[in-house]
């Protein structure tokens, strides 16, 4: 039986430039085709509704990308108006917009807020000008500082700040300084992502040619644990592997993914889950657009989750948050060494990974889900 959808993700693919590490579905456009994108989105909605998709009542709406703020204030408003034509949402719904610092201005944030945005996720990534240039980011350090000031002056319910860690040593990035500057802004939410080398990206090509040597595991661990310590000292709870928040400022939308709730995804590469199966859209913007406007479902693939897949996901999602995972008596002997090693705690049959454990998340989740035990 499918679950009622109360969470919606809309993928806005447009960017002014592809970042060196990015393998997301993006479309680099100097001039954003807002009307074309909204027409394709409307067409996808028509196709999905014709297939029986019921209009949802939303608790969260997340505009991600890409760079949703690249739509401009009028484009953001038009997108929200389009969503309102087929969905309603609660008066206390969390409505998040991902934004780049160079798109943030007093006028823009006022318009976003008036249109219905309640939360902004700011993709800053670093306060180091050399690092921003290496990442191919389009904003300056000064724009990061100004963007935070503007966002704090706009009455959003919450906002978040993004940083990337574990950069190549040759960049000589001062992680301690970046953390101190970010936490000095007193963000109610902080997201930290370790740099990964993905094939097909500029970074992947640099690594293949030997021009870049990724950070080693020791550096990754040291920077992750230092972030945990400093964020906790600043009053932020490390509530999920990559996320820290003050009480009441946790990302409700991302929390829906981690709890296994049903959600709907619209736009190129967007994923959805109905409680029984997953689907994902065609990744390339032009192919997604063309299929939708022809009245064809732009689905790229589907997956029906069986008992084994559900168990795998439940374990992995449970271990990645401070909510933890229930373990029965037969599993407690297996996890006892993890507790002794400082990787986890076990209280009233609830296993919670520590930051040291989160660094080993994939291996620990796999240890709890041996295939023979699920057959």
Give the residue-averaged pLDDT of 332-357: 95
**Residue 31 predicted with pLDDT over 80:** yes
Query: pLDDT tens digits for 123-161?
Result: 999 999 999 999 999 999 999 999 999 999 999 999 999
Confidence of residue 330 (pLDDT cuts 50, 70, 90): confident
Residue, of 373 and 363, whose pLDDT is higher: 363
Domains of the chain: 7-258 (3.20.20.70), 307-374 (no CATH)
Does the pLDDT value for residue 374 go beyond 50? no
User: Which pLDDT belongs to residue 356?
Assistant: 97
Task: Give the model confidence (pLDDT) of 205-246 as tens digits.
Answer: 999 999 999 999 999 999 999 999 999 999 999 999 999 999
Q: What's the mean pLDDT in 93-113?
A: 98
Burial degree of 365 (CB within 10 A; 0-12, 13-18, 19+): buried
**How far is residue 67's CA from residue 104's CA, in Å, rounded to a whole number?**
12
Rounded average pLDDT over 319-333? 93
153: alpha, beta or left? (left if phi > 0; alpha if psi -120 to 50)? alpha
Q: What is the pLDDT of residue 135?
A: 97
Report the b/e string of 43-55 with b at 16+ CB within 10 A. bbbebbeeeeeee
The residue among 52 and 10 whose pLDDT is bigger is 10
pLDDT at 375 over 70: no
Instruction: Note the pLDDT tens digit of each residue in 255-297.
Output: 999 999 999 999 999 999 998 999 999 999 999 999 999 999 9
Q: Is the pLDDT of residue 373 over 50?
A: no
- State residue 30's pLDDT score: 86
In percent, the amount of the chain with pLDDT more than 90 equals: 92
Which residue's entry shows tokens 């693919």? 13
Q: Supply 214's token pair.
A: 């990724």
């Amino acid at each position: 039986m499918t679950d009622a959808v109360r969470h919606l993700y809309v993928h806005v693919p447009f960017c002014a430039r592809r970042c060196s590490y990015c393998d997301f579905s993006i479309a680099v456009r100097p001039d954003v085709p807002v009307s074309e994108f909204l027409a394709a989105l409307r067409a996808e909605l028509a196709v999905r509704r014709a297939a029986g998709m019921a209009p949802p009542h939303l608790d969260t709406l997340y505009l991600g990308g890409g760079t949703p703020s690249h739509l401009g204030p009028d484009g953001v408003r038009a997108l929200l108006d389009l969503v309102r034509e087929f969905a309603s949402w609660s008066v206390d719904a969390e409505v998040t917009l991902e934004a780049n610092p160079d798109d943030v201005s007093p006028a823009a944030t006022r318009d976003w807020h008036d249109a219905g945005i309640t939360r902004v996720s700011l993709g800053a990534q670093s306060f180091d000008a050399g690092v921003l240039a290496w990442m191919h980011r389009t904003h300056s350090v000064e724009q990061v500082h100004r963007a935070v000031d503007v966002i704090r002056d706009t009455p959003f319910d919450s906002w978040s700040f993004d940083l990337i860690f574990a950069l190549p040593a040759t960049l000589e990035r001062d992680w301690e300084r970046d953390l101190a500057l970010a936490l000095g802004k007193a963000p109610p939410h902080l997201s930290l992502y370790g740099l990964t080398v993905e094939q097909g990206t500029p970074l992947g090509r640099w690594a293949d040619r030997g021009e870049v040597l990724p950070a080693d595991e020791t550096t990754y661990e040291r920077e992750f644990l230092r972030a945990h310590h400093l964020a906790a000292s600043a009053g932020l709870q490390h509530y999920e592997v990559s996320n820290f928040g003050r009480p009441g400022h946790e990302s409700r939308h991302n929390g829906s993914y981690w709890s296994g709730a049903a959600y709907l995804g619209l736009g190129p590469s967007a994923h959805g889950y109905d409680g029984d199966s997953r689907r994902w859209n065609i990744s390339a913007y032009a192919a997604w657009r063309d299929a939708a406007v022809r009245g064809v479902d732009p689905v790229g693939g589907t997956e029906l989750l069986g008992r084994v897949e559900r168990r795998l996901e439940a374990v992995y999602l449970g271990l990645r948050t401070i909510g933890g995972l229930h373990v029965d008596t037969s599993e407690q002997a297996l996890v006892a060494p993890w507790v002794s090693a400082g990787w986890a705690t076990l209280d009233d049959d609830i296993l919670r990974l520590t930051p040291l454990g989160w660094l080993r998340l994939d291996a620990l989740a796999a240890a709890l889900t041996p295939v023979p035990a699920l057959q």
